[in-house]
A and B are shown apart, each in its own frame.
Chain A
Amino acid sequence: MPGMTLTEVGAAFDEGALTARELTEKCLTVARQNADTTHAYVTLTEDEAFTAADAADERIKRRSRLSILDGVPVAVKDNMLVAGIRATAGSHIITNYVAPYDATIVSRLKAAGAVLVGKTNMDEFAMGSSTETSCHGPTRNPWNTEKIPGGSSGGAAVAVAEGSAIVSLGSDTGGSIRQPAAMCGVVGLKPTYGRVSRYGLMAMASSLDQIGPFARTAEDAARVLSVIEGRDPMDSTSVDLEPSWKVPLRFPSSLKGLRVGLPKEYFVSGMDSDVERAVRDAVAALENLGAEIKEVTLPHAEYALAVYYVLMPSEVSSNLSRFDGIRFGTRVAGASLEETYRKSRGTGFGKEVRRRIMLGTYALSSGYYDAYYLKALKVRRLISNDFAQAFTEVDVIATPTSPSVAWNIGEKFDDPLAMYLSDIYTVSVNVAGLPAVSVPCGFSNGLPVGLQLIGRHFDEKTILGTAHAYEHAAGLREQLSSPTSIK
């Protein structure tokens, strides 16, 4: 049963071959079996899941399913709030925090009948590219448990890859959905900034954060997007969707008329040769499907990571000031109020979180603001303009998702800059607020490689359609359905 798509689950429900309770039990069993190996979850919500599954089974019997997600086991990253359930974001400072209300995406999932099976592991407050900075310990890659799963949404990617959830939700600030999707061999979508409400998502960098789905197929990712997207009065940056932005129920299998751009700045150096080969083969497959391949230029591409590592920590330093041990979370009492802040934050936050808070504080401090923060905001405009220019010539931009496959656990843990460089192909998408999807495009040493497809603002339709056509042509589904390292 693990490895089923939403269409297959729906058909099995309709035929009476499978119940929501059975599927939920199966997913929870996989999650429990792998708890000590992949460690995808920090909290399993079994009681709530079975209650939701039984309610869904009643509707399935009456042939009145609420949506394509009705009765479907879904996992949610631990930085999103589910009322009454612990939400730790992988941090000691809020290990005992119980969410007082549902995030908007969670209320939408519930209203669609989805069965929430648990909260998935992540880098602390989504800061990391490997899911190693979690206070709950690392998550491991189901293709090789000596390897990292990518991050920060590593647990949510693993949940889908191992089959402990049919689909899941992660958050992506600089690649945190796409990079783990690539490393675990699943599809991961970062929607356009503003497409999905962030209400109830713990803010990391508010101008970059976006929630999106992990799924087995591009079509499934599109269906989850349809459930969670749309304006929310509780998030003033979410927008009303125009009808032409909607994703269709079915995608065409030909890519005739599609123009795909390859940024020349991305195919230079620093990329594993196996990754480059898999991505170039995938691009050749797009051409066989009828797409026209063109070289494009993104002249400021080399500055994207620097822009990101100024803007993101600046926003982090501001957003994380709320974690001070006063109204919620762990309080470590000091002699004065200020000492209470320092001790609570000093012991509650891990090293990477403190490094980023300090970087941001420095970049925003008096005397440095213009050189760092303001400068980065200006270069951000140039990066965004580069994409706008490229999208006058092409409809989709294709790149590797990550310059390498999954690395060994511990390998880059004490070298922040080396870790940051692994986000080189994904961060510019957040800087410009664009949508992008990572779709599996092959293997290197038994580890999955991802192809990233970037689109125009709100044109998820085109990138998901391209990913769908590619999936069919590539025929990797069988190979991707059973990761080698787990039961």
Chain B
Amino acid sequence: MKLSIEEVEHIATLSRLELSTEEKSAFASQLSSVLEYVDKLAAVDTSDIEPMAHSLPVRNVFREDEATACGDTVRDALLKNFPERQNDLLKVKAVFS
């Protein structure tokens, strides 16, 4: 599978990643070589094989649907990590324009 520059640009858009022009062409050939390598999977007969998402048979781990407070120290630490804030509010660009 050989990726074109246009395909790399499309994947970058889906991934929300900005790439420079040089990166686009380097990525096109580097990603293509990895995709060519993984294409060997097509040779494996997987008819009647159940996909395996997880290595352990752990299913449906539930807890009570109750909120647990994190405490002021953790809360303050979280707020301090905001890139931009106004008092205790997180400042962001307008989502709807």
Give A residues with C-beta under 8 Å from B.
83-84, 97-101, 193-194, 207, 233, 236-237, 239, 300, 302-303, 305-307, 309-310, 317, 321, 324-331, 333-334, 336-338, 340-343, 345-347, 349, 351, 354-355, 357-359, 361-362, 365, 371-372, 374-382, 384, 416-417, 420, 431-434, 457
Asked if B34 and A328 make an inter-chain contact with CB atoms under 8 angstroms apart, the answer reads no
Asked if B51 and A374 make an inter-chain contact with CB atoms under 8 angstroms apart, the answer reads yes
Main secondary structure of the interface of A (DSSP, over half): helix
Partner of B16, one of A345, A351, A420: A345
6 contacts between A and B (CB under 8 A): A309-B38, A341-B16, A362-B3, A362-B35, A380-B52, A381-B50
At the interface, yes or no: B15 with Cβ under 8 Å from chain A?
yes
Query: Chain A residues near B52 (CB, 8 Å)?
Result: 377-378, 380-381, 384
CB distance from B89 to the nearest CB of A (A): 12
Bitwise, B31-44 to A at CB < 8 A (1) or not (0) is: 10111011011101
Please name the residue on chain B nearest to A378 by beta carbon.
B46
Asked if A417 and B33 make an inter-chain contact with CB atoms under 8 angstroms apart, the answer reads yes
Query: Chain A residues near B83 (CB, 8 Å)?
Result: 325-331
Query: Chain B residues near A338 (CB, 8 Å)?
Result: 16
Asked if A83 and B77 make an inter-chain contact with CB atoms under 8 angstroms apart, the answer reads yes
Given known pairs A336-B93, A379-B44, the reply for A317 and B15 (CB within 8 Å) is: yes
Q: How big is the B interface, by class?
A: 35 or more
Complex CA gap A237/B61 in Å reads 8
Partner of B18, one of A99, A346, A457: A346
Asked if A381 and B49 make an inter-chain contact with CB atoms under 8 angstroms apart, the answer reads yes
Asked if B55 and A310 make an inter-chain contact with CB atoms under 8 angstroms apart, the answer reads no
Query: Chain B residues near A84 (CB, 8 Å)?
Result: 77
Asked if A337 and B17 make an inter-chain contact with CB atoms under 8 angstroms apart, the answer reads no
Asked if B63 and A233 make an inter-chain contact with CB atoms under 8 angstroms apart, the answer reads yes
Bitwise, B53-97 to A at CB < 8 A (1) or not (0) is: 111101001010000001000100110111110000010111101
Asked if B27 and A375 make an inter-chain contact with CB atoms under 8 angstroms apart, the answer reads no
Asked if B61 and A420 make an inter-chain contact with CB atoms under 8 angstroms apart, the answer reads no
CB distance from B62 to the nearest CB of A (A): 9
Complex CA gap A357/B19 in Å reads 13
Asked if A357 and B42 make an inter-chain contact with CB atoms under 8 angstroms apart, the answer reads no
Query: Chain A residues near B58 (CB, 8 Å)?
Result: 194, 236-237, 239
Query: Chain B residues near A359 (CB, 8 Å)?
Result: 31, 34-35
Asked if B17 and A342 make an inter-chain contact with CB atoms under 8 angstroms apart, the answer reads yes
Query: Chain B residues near A433 (CB, 8 Å)?
Result: 54-56
Please name the residue on chain A nearest to B3 by beta carbon.
A362
Please report the number of residue pairs spanning A and B whose Cβ atoms sit closer than 8 angstroms: 173
Please name the residue on chain B nearest to A341 by beta carbon.
B16
Asked if A337 and B93 make an inter-chain contact with CB atoms under 8 angstroms apart, the answer reads yes
Asked if A306 and B15 make an inter-chain contact with CB atoms under 8 angstroms apart, the answer reads no
Please name the residue on chain B nearest to A458 by beta carbon.
B56
- Please indicate which of the listed interface residues A239, A345, A346 has the most CB atoms of chain B within 10 Å of its own CB: A346
Query: Chain A residues near B94 (CB, 8 Å)?
Result: 337
CB distance from A224 to the nearest CB of B (A): 22
Complex CA gap A345/B31 in Å reads 19
Complex CA gap A338/B16 in Å reads 7
Please name the residue on chain A nearest to B19 by beta carbon.
A346
- Please indicate which of the listed interface residues B3, B15, B54, B95 has the most CB atoms of chain A within 10 Å of its own CB: B15
Query: Chain B residues near A317 (CB, 8 Å)?
Result: 15
Query: Chain B residues near A384 (CB, 8 Å)?
Result: 52, 55
Given known pairs A83-B77, A327-B81, A355-B31, the reply for A382 and B16 (CB within 8 Å) is: no
Partner of B56, one of A239, A336, A341: A239
Asked if B37 and A417 make an inter-chain contact with CB atoms under 8 angstroms apart, the answer reads yes
Besides A98-B77, A375-B44, 17 other A-B contacts (C-beta < 8 A): A99-B77, A194-B55, A239-B58, A302-B40, A306-B38, A310-B38, A326-B90, A336-B93, A345-B16, A347-B18, A355-B30, A355-B34, A378-B46, A379-B49, A420-B34, A431-B55, A434-B55
CB distance from B55 to the nearest CB of A (A): 2
Complex CA gap A434/B12 in Å reads 34
Query: Chain B residues near A355 (CB, 8 Å)?
Result: 27, 30-31, 34
Query: Chain B residues near A321 (CB, 8 Å)?
Result: 16
Given known pairs A98-B77, A327-B90, the reply for A303 and B40 (CB within 8 Å) is: yes
Complex CA gap A374/B95 in Å reads 34
Please name the residue on chain B nearest to A330 by beta carbon.
B83
Given known pairs A303-B40, A358-B12, A371-B42, the reply for A337 and B95 (CB within 8 Å) is: yes
Asked if A98 and B81 make an inter-chain contact with CB atoms under 8 angstroms apart, the answer reads yes
Complex CA gap A275/B23 in Å reads 36
Given known pairs A355-B30, A372-B38, A384-B55, the reply for A331 and B81 (CB within 8 Å) is: no
Complex CA gap A326/B93 in Å reads 9
Query: Chain A residues near B92 (CB, 8 Å)?
Result: 326, 337
Complex CA gap A71/B42 in Å reads 53
Given known pairs A325-B83, A378-B50, the reply for A365 and B34 (CB within 8 Å) is: no
Partner of B54, one of A207, A340, A351, A361: A207
Query: Chain A residues near B74 (CB, 8 Å)?
Result: 100-101
Complex CA gap A153/B25 in Å reads 30
Query: Chain A residues near B56 (CB, 8 Å)?
Result: 193-194, 237, 239, 433, 457
Complex CA gap A325/B92 in Å reads 10
